[in-house]
Structure 1
Amino acid sequence: MAIPILRAAMISHPQSQPIIHSISAILETSKRRNTVVFSSSSSSELNPVIRSEVSFSVGTCLIPHPKKVDRGGEDAFFVSNYNGGVIAVADGVSGWAEEDVDPSLFPREFMANASDFVGDDEVNYDPQILIRKAHAATSSTGSATVIIAMLEKNGTLKIANVGDCGLRVIRNGRVIFSTSPQEHYFDCPFQLSSERVGQTYLDAAVSNVELIEGDTIVMGSDGLFDNVFDHEIIQTFVIYKDVAETAKALANLASSHAKDSKFDSPYSLEARSRGFDAPLWKKILGMKLTGGKLDDITVIVGQVVSS
């Protein structure tokens, strides 16, 4: 994420079993199926209704920026099977490299802290409070955009998002919910930081979505959503049924689009809508600003299952 660092001069325990990733390989996938317990309720003694609890079956994939493969990129994420399941992504701000600071340190420590606090009594399964506690515990210099989603066993998905990482909920072949990016201006999203100037958990966009068995969610850093349209995400789900394969396919698609200078990506469309365009000589030749955006790409796919 090559975006400015927010400074004063600019616009303004562990009961979980987490998977925390600071990836050094080009591609890495994982798949976890959670153990859940049956619960039952009855509308009347004569007409009992058996209702199963739900959880996530999760697949993940991370592809670092081509120039950051040796360092594993600057994204970090974790997956936990606590309660119905917890998934989270943090995207480090690469502008810190200009200050001789490793941009990957802050998001990695933040995700490690968040995973530690998942079962904390004070968090009480609230992603916004989890962001607060993880942020307060992170001592590394840097900043990151962050999204955390926590699934209750009754099907309620709680989401807290600061910046431009994103999440989509897909049901019956269409997107029924999507997060909106938060930004100060184009290419400068809200970010949690080690600096006093920056956003806090109070700035998080908070949402609750009621999920049902068979729903699928896609969470990712902006490396995914800057390069892949929602209709392409849906088409990928038609082709791949396994969550790990789907996550890998989406990450590969985003990587392919990011390297294609002729692809009219979500990022280039947004840039043109904000007044950015190709140089005049290219416009004279009938050319326009196109292309994907090279970046770290993190994808988490979660399917709602009952057991």
Structure 2
Amino acid sequence: MAVPIFRASIPKSHPLIHSISSALSLTDETWKKKRLLSCSAASSELKPFRPELCFSVGTYLIPHPNKVEKGGEDAFFVSSYNGGVLAVADGVSGWAEQDVDPSLFPKELMTNASNFVGDVEVNNDPRILIGKAHAYTSSIGSATVMIAMLERDGILKIANVGDCGLRVIREGKIKFSTSPQEHYFDCPYQLSSEIVGQTYQDAMVSNVEMMEGDTIVMGSDGLFDNVFDHEIVSTVAGYRDVAETAKVLANLANNHSLDSNFDSPYSMEARSKGFEPPLWKKILGMKLTGTAYPVLYYDDKAPLFVDLLADLSGKPDDITVIVGQVVSL
């Protein structure tokens, strides 16, 4: 995902309050211990016939092939707070045109979100959590973001700004799917360090009633641009371990993104929005292909970057996958 919705002048120096690794994940053993702690306390407020629910989580991140050295521009965290919190942010790579590291903003945003998970003002509301994390983020840049918070009674609260995605899978079918927020094709809503841009108030909010055994697949657009929903469902069905499932899905997305013969969800959407392959490719019977280079467009406010279509059917990108299985104590 590489489309900033504005260009801005950048000060010579800008303080970074916090930094975060590209993969704020917990080791399997640490997560298991934290998950048990998360699920262990009984609540007198819940109905006695319904067990408390929480997440068992697996994560995997594969950086863009050209960004391996710095770990990519995605960031995420998982928390055992309440029934579990899952969050991912995807940095806007167009900031590199302004000599700004696009990974700093999403990393700090996720650090702040993880710090404010249990804040009284947040009150288990992922939209408010996004707003508070954004308010305390001082890095230059922008990012799409999604946060999902599971209540012990099984209600999943989701807040999304942009084109990160989430699927709820139950008994081999997709029960719920988020929709991307876009200004137009390949230009998603995004939180920003600048005045121009979206805020937590623009977040799309959803509540889903979860059941034991449900699986959540959540990730940056690098997953959903390269893997079809039916492939996600079949992968979830084929693996019981959430860590293994996350790894398999990430590798599948990565392989598709580099496959010149794969007609990806991204390229299919591009065609549906009116993008066409060059004439010489039509003559040779070749199909529309994936993204490669930025082309400058203008509107009445600011220049916009749009990724046009070039050499690959998939879409090379940072790929973050979070798989959460709903379990009871």
TM-score with structure 1 setting the length = 0.90
RMSD, aligned CA: 1.8
Q: Which residue of the partner structure matches residue 232 of structure 1? A: 231
Query: Aligned-pair distance for 1:50?
Result: 3.4
Q: Which residue of the partner structure matches residue 22 of structure 1? A: 22
Alignment-mate amino acid for residue 78 of structure 1: F
**Any stretches of 5+ residues in structure 2 without a counterpart?**
9-19, 290-312
2:26, 2:78 within 8 Å by CA — same for their partners in 1?
Answer: no
Q: Which residue of the partner structure matches residue 222 of structure 1? A: 221
Identity among equivalent positions (%) equals 74
Alignment-mate amino acid for residue 171 of structure 1: R
Q: Which residue of the partner structure matches residue 111 of structure 2? A: 112
Query: Is 102-111 or 274-283 further displaced after alignment?
Result: 274-283
Q: Which residue of the partner structure matches residue 320 of structure 2? A: 298
**Any stretches of 5+ residues in structure 1 without a counterpart?**
9-19, 44-48
Q: Which residue of the partner structure matches residue 3 of structure 1? A: 3
Correspondence 1:151-230 to 2 at 5 A: 151-230=150-229
Alignment-mate amino acid for residue 242 of structure 2: V
Corresponding residue SS for 2:256: helix
The separation in 1 between residues aligned to 2:203 and 2:49, in whole angstroms, is 36
1:56, 1:85 within 8 Å by CA — same for their partners in 2?
Answer: yes
Corresponding residue SS for 2:195: coil
Query: Aligned-pair distance for 1:276?
Result: 1.1
Q: Which residue of the partner structure matches residue 124 of structure 1? A: 123
The separation in 2 between residues aligned to 1:21 and 1:61, in whole angstroms, is 13
1:227, 1:292 within 8 Å by CA — same for their partners in 2?
Answer: yes
**Runs (4+) off by over 2 Å:** 4-8, 28-33, 37-43
1:257, 1:263 within 8 Å by CA — same for their partners in 2?
Answer: yes
Alignment-mate amino acid for residue 279 of structure 2: L
Q: Which residue of the partner structure matches residue 63 of structure 1? A: 62
Query: Is 93-102 or 236-245 further displaced after alignment?
Result: 236-245
Query: Aligned-pair distance for 1:238?
Result: 1.8
The separation in 1 between residues aligned to 2:211 and 2:21, in whole angstroms, is 28
The separation in 2 between residues aligned to 1:288 and 1:166, in whole angstroms, is 26
The separation in 1 between residues aligned to 2:46 and 2:83, in whole angstroms, is 22
Q: Does 1:278 align with 2:300?
A: no
Mark the CA change 1:237 to 1:174 in structure 2 (over 3 Å): closer, same or farther.
Answer: same
Correspondence 1:78-97 to 2 at 5 A: 78-97=77-96
Query: Aligned-pair distance for 1:22?
Result: 1.5
The separation in 2 between residues aligned to 1:255 and 1:122, in whole angstroms, is 39
1:162, 1:191 within 8 Å by CA — same for their partners in 2?
Answer: yes
1:7, 1:197 within 8 Å by CA — same for their partners in 2?
Answer: no
Query: Aligned-pair distance for 1:288?
Result: 1.4
Mark the CA change 1:29 to 1:262 in structure 2 (over 3 Å): closer, same or farther.
Answer: farther
Q: For this pair of structures, how many residues does the alignment match?
A: 288
Corresponding residue SS for 1:70: coil
2:46, 2:153 within 8 Å by CA — same for their partners in 1?
Answer: no
1:30, 1:61 within 8 Å by CA — same for their partners in 2?
Answer: no
Alignment-mate amino acid for residue 22 of structure 2: S
Query: Aligned-pair distance for 1:214?
Result: 0.3
Query: Aligned-pair distance for 1:78?
Result: 0.3
Q: Which residue of the partner structure matches residue 249 of structure 1? A: 248
TM-score with structure 2 setting the length = 0.84
Mark the CA change 1:21 to 1:209 in structure 2 (over 3 Å): closer, same or farther.
Answer: farther
Alignment-mate amino acid for residue 292 of structure 1: G
1:38, 1:53 within 8 Å by CA — same for their partners in 2?
Answer: yes
